[in-house]
Copies of this chain bind each other. A is one copy, B any other.
Amino acid sequence: MANSNLYKGSLTTIILKLLSEHDKMYGYEITQKVKALTKGELKITEGALYPSLHKLEAEGLLDVEVAKVDNRLRKYYKLTEKGTTETVHKLSELEQYIATLQSLINPKLSY
Protein backbone atom coordinates (compact mmCIF):
# COMPACT_ATOMS: atom_id res chain seq x y z
CA MET A 1 0.00 0.00 0.00
CA ALA A 2 2.93 2.23 -0.61
CA ASN A 3 2.56 4.80 2.05
CA SER A 4 -0.27 5.17 4.47
CA ASN A 5 0.75 8.73 5.27
CA LEU A 6 -1.44 11.73 4.95
CA TYR A 7 -0.53 14.58 2.74
CA LYS A 8 -0.42 17.30 5.29
CA GLY A 9 -3.34 19.63 5.01
CA SER A 10 -5.97 17.19 3.84
CA LEU A 11 -6.97 15.71 7.19
CA THR A 12 -9.15 18.62 8.24
CA THR A 13 -11.06 18.50 4.99
CA ILE A 14 -11.56 14.76 5.30
CA ILE A 15 -12.98 15.11 8.79
CA LEU A 16 -15.35 17.88 7.75
CA LYS A 17 -16.52 15.96 4.71
CA LEU A 18 -17.31 12.86 6.76
CA LEU A 19 -19.23 14.93 9.27
CA SER A 20 -21.19 16.54 6.47
CA GLU A 21 -22.45 13.09 5.58
CA HIS A 22 -22.96 11.58 9.00
CA ASP A 23 -24.58 14.17 11.24
CA LYS A 24 -22.44 13.24 14.22
CA MET A 25 -19.41 11.05 14.70
CA TYR A 26 -16.88 10.36 17.41
CA GLY A 27 -13.13 10.21 16.96
CA TYR A 28 -12.58 6.51 16.93
CA GLU A 29 -15.48 6.11 14.54
CA ILE A 30 -13.82 8.51 12.13
CA THR A 31 -10.60 6.51 12.08
CA GLN A 32 -12.53 3.32 11.37
CA LYS A 33 -14.67 4.93 8.71
CA VAL A 34 -11.67 6.28 6.86
CA LYS A 35 -9.95 2.93 7.05
CA ALA A 36 -13.02 1.19 5.66
CA LEU A 37 -13.74 3.71 2.91
CA THR A 38 -10.16 3.62 1.68
CA LYS A 39 -9.75 -0.14 2.12
CA GLY A 40 -6.93 0.37 4.55
CA GLU A 41 -5.05 2.82 2.36
CA LEU A 42 -5.39 5.65 4.80
CA LYS A 43 -4.98 5.29 8.52
CA ILE A 44 -5.70 8.34 10.61
CA THR A 45 -3.52 8.26 13.69
CA GLU A 46 -4.84 9.46 17.01
CA GLY A 47 -1.95 11.86 17.31
CA ALA A 48 -3.22 13.62 14.21
CA LEU A 49 -6.94 13.18 14.74
CA TYR A 50 -7.59 14.42 18.25
CA PRO A 51 -5.62 17.65 18.00
CA SER A 52 -7.41 18.31 14.71
CA LEU A 53 -10.81 17.79 16.26
CA HIS A 54 -9.93 20.08 19.15
CA LYS A 55 -8.75 22.75 16.77
CA LEU A 56 -11.90 22.55 14.66
CA GLU A 57 -13.93 22.87 17.81
CA ALA A 58 -11.90 25.86 18.98
CA GLU A 59 -12.48 27.50 15.63
CA GLY A 60 -16.19 27.05 16.00
CA LEU A 61 -16.59 24.60 13.14
CA LEU A 62 -17.61 21.69 15.35
CA ASP A 63 -19.77 21.23 18.40
CA VAL A 64 -19.12 18.47 20.92
CA GLU A 65 -21.47 16.34 22.90
CA VAL A 66 -20.13 13.85 25.42
CA ALA A 67 -21.86 10.53 25.83
CA LYS A 68 -21.30 7.37 27.81
CA VAL A 69 -21.90 4.22 25.82
CA ASP A 70 -21.21 0.77 27.26
CA ASN A 71 -19.43 2.43 30.13
CA ARG A 72 -17.03 4.08 27.67
CA LEU A 73 -16.62 7.74 26.92
CA ARG A 74 -17.49 9.04 23.52
CA LYS A 75 -17.24 12.58 22.24
CA TYR A 76 -19.62 13.15 19.41
CA TYR A 77 -18.74 15.92 17.02
CA LYS A 78 -21.07 17.62 14.61
CA LEU A 79 -20.80 20.51 12.20
CA THR A 80 -21.88 23.94 13.26
CA GLU A 81 -23.41 26.25 10.70
CA LYS A 82 -20.04 27.84 10.23
CA GLY A 83 -18.56 24.37 9.89
CA THR A 84 -20.97 23.51 7.12
CA THR A 85 -20.00 26.60 5.18
CA GLU A 86 -16.33 25.93 5.73
CA THR A 87 -16.72 22.34 4.56
CA VAL A 88 -17.98 23.48 1.19
CA HIS A 89 -15.11 25.91 0.96
CA LYS A 90 -12.39 23.48 1.96
CA LEU A 91 -13.75 20.78 -0.31
CA SER A 92 -13.63 23.02 -3.34
CA GLU A 93 -10.12 24.08 -2.43
CA LEU A 94 -8.99 20.48 -2.19
CA GLU A 95 -10.68 19.58 -5.46
CA GLN A 96 -9.02 22.56 -7.09
CA TYR A 97 -5.68 21.51 -5.73
CA ILE A 98 -6.14 17.99 -7.04
CA ALA A 99 -7.00 19.37 -10.47
CA THR A 100 -3.88 21.51 -10.36
CA LEU A 101 -1.78 18.51 -9.42
CA GLN A 102 -3.30 16.56 -12.29
CA SER A 103 -2.30 19.28 -14.70
CA LEU A 104 1.26 18.81 -13.54
CA ILE A 105 1.60 15.08 -13.11
CA ASN A 106 -0.77 13.84 -15.74
CA PRO A 107 -1.38 16.61 -18.28
CA LYS A 108 -3.15 14.30 -20.72
CA LEU A 109 -5.96 13.64 -18.29
CA SER A 110 -6.69 17.27 -17.51
CA TYR A 111 -9.60 18.42 -19.61
Q: Which of A54-111 contact B (CB under 8 A)?
A: 91-98, 100-107
Bound-state Cα–Cα, A57 to B81, Å: 48
CB < 8 Å neighbour of A97 from B7, B34, B37, B93 = B7
> When the two chains form their complex, are residues A38 and B100 in contact, meaning their CB atoms are under 8 A apart?
yes
CB < 8 Å neighbour of A34 from B91, B104, B107 = B104
SS of A interface (majority)? helix
Binding site for B on A (CB under 8 A): 2-3, 5, 7-10, 13-14, 17-18, 34, 37-38, 41-42, 91-98, 100-107
Known: A7-B7, A8-B8, A10-B7. A103 touches B37 (CB 8 A): yes
> When the two chains form their complex, are residues B105 and A91 in contact, meaning their CB atoms are under 8 A apart?
yes
> When the two chains form their complex, are residues B105 and A95 in contact, meaning their CB atoms are under 8 A apart?
yes
> When the two chains form their complex, are residues B104 and A14 in contact, meaning their CB atoms are under 8 A apart?
yes
> When the two chains form their complex, are residues B41 and A96 in contact, meaning their CB atoms are under 8 A apart?
yes
Bound-state Cα–Cα, A2 to B7, Å: 19
CB < 8 Å neighbour of A94 from B91, B101, B107 = B101
List of B residues within 8 angstroms of A10 by Cβ: 7, 101
